[in-house]
Amino acid sequence: MAESASIVTVSTAEGKFQQNIRVGQHRFVADEPLSVGGIDSGPSPYDLLLAALGSCTSMTIKMYADLKNIPLESVEIELEHSRDHAEDCVNCSNDDNRIDVIDRSIILRGELTDAQRQKLLEIAEKCPVHKTLENRIDIHTTEVRD
């Protein structure tokens, strides 16, 4: 049986792209920038994906540092999403041979040894969202009628 996380509810809102998002007691909006027809009232879906990866990475690093008494003062993660065309993509499953790429830069602050820094970067690779994004993902869609 699959583990279950929070239920996320998303519904259309104002403008062409704006969406109301509800996660438990939290409410916020997603949108697209003006340049693509949105009203730029919130982060884009890819911004939210990057935020999920960045926040999970930072939490995972901080949790490990606290557990091992590593003098980590703070973590800052910067992420960027792009698509590369891969002419020699052997394992590509998409028709246009484009690979989604996420560049993740990690800033570790504190009086850390080189060994501690290296270990914290290794731990970043173990973040659950990172693992999910690298795994095969099955999305099951069901229409629910009112």
DSSP structural state of residue 121:
H
User: Is 102 in contact with 53 (CB distance < 8 Å)?
Assistant: yes
In this structure, are residues 14 and 29 in contact, taking their beta carbons and an 8 Å threshold? no
50 and 28, same structural domain?
A: no
The amino acid at residue 112 is: L
pTM for the model: 0.85
Within a domain: 28: yes
* Residues 71 and 51 placed together within one structural domain of the fold: yes
Number of domains observed in the structure of the chain: 2
As a whole-number percent, the residues of the chain with pLDDT over 70 amount to 88
Mean pLDDT across 52-79: 98
What are the start-end ranges of the H helices in 85-135?
114-124, 128-134
* β-pair partners for 20: 11, 29
What are φ and ψ of residue 85, in 5° steps? -85, 125
Its domain, for residue 132, covers 44-88+95-137
